[in-house]
Amino acid sequence: MNGNAPIANLRIGMIGSGFIARFHVQALQSVRHVTVTGVYSPTAANRESLAAFANALELGPCRAFASLEAMLISGEVDAVWILVPNFARLDTMREIHRLVKAGWAKLVGVACEKPLGRTLAEARDMLRLAEDAKLFHGYLENQVFSSAVQRGKDIVWRRAVPACGRPYLARAAEEHSGPHMPWFWQGRQQGGGVLSDMTCHSVEVGRYLLTRPGAPRTDLKLVSASATTGHLKWTRPKYVERLKRMMGPEIDYAARPAEDFARGALVFRDSEGHEVMVEATNSWAYVGAGLRILIELLGPEYSMEFSSLNTGLKVFLSRDVTGGQGEDLVEKQNAEQGLMPVVENEADIYGYVGENRHMVEAFRQRRQPTETFYDGVAVAEMLMALYRSAETGRVITFPAPELESYVPPVARG
């Protein structure tokens, strides 16, 4: 293969075989010039299932590998998507780095799910390893690539900003009734609670909307961060017991809770010297039809807004329509009856199609994506500042060297 020529068909290896991996495979149906050729995860049944899923969608030929090393040195993958749980990402990147540096793995790029690390130090290590291995690297922040976000930003910056000035406030919220898997609920494994899990989306999509199209991340300078976190639902005795039944007895929120609510504010200074702000609100204590994403952008004489549950398609099911629980209408679905919004294509609306299309094309052309591990590090820094603010009750101002080795209390156990 010519070392500089575009890759005709990018071959992806999936590292991880859980819920999010299936979302990415589903999204890749809408992406050209790509195949999913390999899957590795520690659980044989899961990796075989995901490989079969990819083959059923005609994204293969795809096969399951018994070890990460076997997949990386097989010569059958050009790039890898890191989709393992948060606590396993850094070790995974170390193995990729080892095999690439030894010359055994011939990879072009690596993409990693959010967040890049549980702490700022972990995120910096992920970036260092990718750069040292001379890999192109992509940070998989799906909301930035949502078609609504992309279209809304284009209209605002093209039509409104030239006439009235740049936007000054982005609000973003993501809320649902709680994660799918036990490790998400464990502070040490996940890195925190809802602030780590979901505020990473909100702060990055807010920053993206406030940044001039085509401008580097340095277009906005981070000035300060403040946050409040809470234990609103899952520490109540009734829900402590429910969580144990759902996720296992080791998930004890009476003894070891993680926050289920977080609200944060980030202040930036733009290139003209004006202050702009991102407000983020995130919750594992929201009960509605299902996952809800709210995004707003406000400027001097304009605004834009998006809500994932304001769908064009709705269905009504009376109490006589019975059946088992599922997520066939919307992610994190909380009901099977009543007037229900239907998210027709979650992979597209949430941004997974757009981000996969972008990452595939960047790696095919042997260039960096627009969202890289540098962005993942910056998000980690914002999250650590918010955790530190919530812990100490003070506004964190930048530069903030105290964050370099900071570990949130919930992640310390």
CA distance 364 to 362: 5
What integer pLDDT is reported at residue 1 of this predicted model? 39
Torsion, Cα 267 215 210 348, to 10 degrees, reads -130
3-class SS of residue 344: coil
CA distance 411 to 183: 12
CA distance 150 to 380: 23
What integer pLDDT is reported at residue 124 of this predicted model? 98
What integer pLDDT is reported at residue 331 of this predicted model? 64
- Span of 93-102, 114-123, 312-321 with lowest mean pLDDT: 312-321
Residue 192's region, left for phi above 0, alpha for psi from -120 to 50, else beta, is left
Closest CA to 357 of 27, 12, 137: 27
The residues, any chain, with a CB within 8 Å of residue 2's CB and separated by 6 or more, are: none
pLDDT digits (tens, 9 = 90+) for 171-211: 999 999 999 899 999 999 999 999 999 999 999 999 999 99
**What is the CB neighbour count within 10 angstroms for residue 7?**
19
**Whether the predicted pLDDT of 328 surpasses 70:** no
pLDDT digits (tens, 9 = 90+) for 262-305: 999 999 999 999 999 999 999 999 988 778 999 999 999 999 99
Mean pLDDT of all residues belonging to the chain: 93
Listed in sequence order, the DSSP H helices in 36-160 are: 44-56, 68-72, 89-101, 120-132, 147-155
What integer pLDDT is reported at residue 413 of this predicted model? 77
State phi, psi for 347 to the nearest 5 degrees: -60, -35
What integer pLDDT is reported at residue 285 of this predicted model? 95
Closest CA to 117 of 153, 90, 147: 90
CA distance 277 to 257: 30
Rg for the chain (alpha carbons), in Å?
A: 21
Closest CA to 282 of 350, 199, 380, 225: 199
Answer yes or no: are the C-beta atoms of 77 and 92 closer than 8 Å.
Answer: no
Span 374-378, mean pLDDT?
Answer: 98
Span 381-405, mean pLDDT?
Answer: 97
CA distance 391 to 197: 17
| The CATH number of domain 10-141+354-371 is 3.40.50.1100 | no
CA distance 283 to 178: 8
What is the CATH T-level fold of the domain 144-348+379-403, as seen in this structure? Dihydrodipicolinate Reductase; domain 2 (3.30.360)
One-letter amino acid for residue 367 of the chain: R
**Whether the predicted pLDDT of 321 surpasses 80:** no
Place of tokens 């972008």: 358
3-class SS of residue 62: coil
Going from N- to C-terminal start, the domains of the chain cover: 10-141+354-371, 144-348+379-403
What integer pLDDT is reported at residue 84 of this predicted model? 97
pLDDT band at 333 (very low <50, low <70, confident <90, very high): low
Residue 409 or 413, more confident = 409
CA distance 313 to 333: 15
**Whether the predicted pLDDT of 310 surpasses 80:** yes
pLDDT band at 225 (very low <50, low <70, confident <90, very high): very high
- Span of 22-26, 225-229, 349-353 with lowest mean pLDDT: 349-353
Answer yes or no: are the C-beta atoms of 86 and 191 closer than 8 Å.
Answer: yes
CA distance 76 to 365: 18
Answer yes or no: are the C-beta atoms of 144 and 351 closer than 8 Å.
Answer: yes
CA distance 338 to 350: 24
pLDDT band at 358 (very low <50, low <70, confident <90, very high): very high
